[in-house]
Amino acid sequence: AQKVTQAQTEISVVEKEDVTLDCVYETRDTTYYLFWYKQPPSGELVFLIRRNSFDEQNEISGRYSWNFQKSTSSFNFTITASQVVDSAVYFCALSEASTGGFKTIFGAGTRLFVKA
């Protein structure tokens, strides 16, 4: 069965600190997708990144980077030099094949506070 664990419920950092958000997943499928979404205080859900199970390359996008390791079933997200605007709830998600398409399971989320 699918499962996504975000063990960090809340993290508080001071601006310009680096912070890593952890995501551990469980799946029996060999084909699956992993995602990160951001939910700022305004409430909308913003897509950040998608990774498929065959692509273990790490990715960097500006201050954001993602580390995907199949050996440990982890897909961690690092924000470098955090800013107040990074304050949000971040969700990790896992999609695997199901009837008619894919089903997605979300982690419980990590709330990040970045203080000025």
Kindly tell me which of 2 and 80 has the beta carbon lying closer to another protein.
2
Kindly tell me which of 19 and 93 has the beta carbon lying closer to another protein.
93
Q: How far is the CB of 46 from another protein (least distance, A)?
A: 8
Q: How far is the CB of 95 from another protein (least distance, A)?
A: 5
Binding site for another protein (CB under 8 A): 4, 6, 33, 35, 37, 43-45, 47, 50, 91, 93, 95, 98-109
Kindly tell me which of 21 and 109 has the beta carbon lying closer to another protein.
109
- How far is Cα of residue 51 from the mean position of the Cα atoms in its chain? 10
Q: How far is the CB of 7 from another protein (least distance, A)?
A: 13
The DSSP letter of residue 15 is T
Q: How far is the CB of 116 from another protein (least distance, A)?
A: 26
Kindly tell me which of 64 and 106 has the beta carbon lying closer to another protein.
106
Q: What is the 3-state secondary structure (H, E, C) of 33-101?
A: EEEEEEECCCCCCEEEEEEECCCCCCEEECCEEEEEEHHHCEEEEEECCCCHHHCEEEEEEEEEEECCE
- Those residues whose C-beta lies under 8 Å from the C-beta of residue 28, and which sit 6 or more positions away, are 1
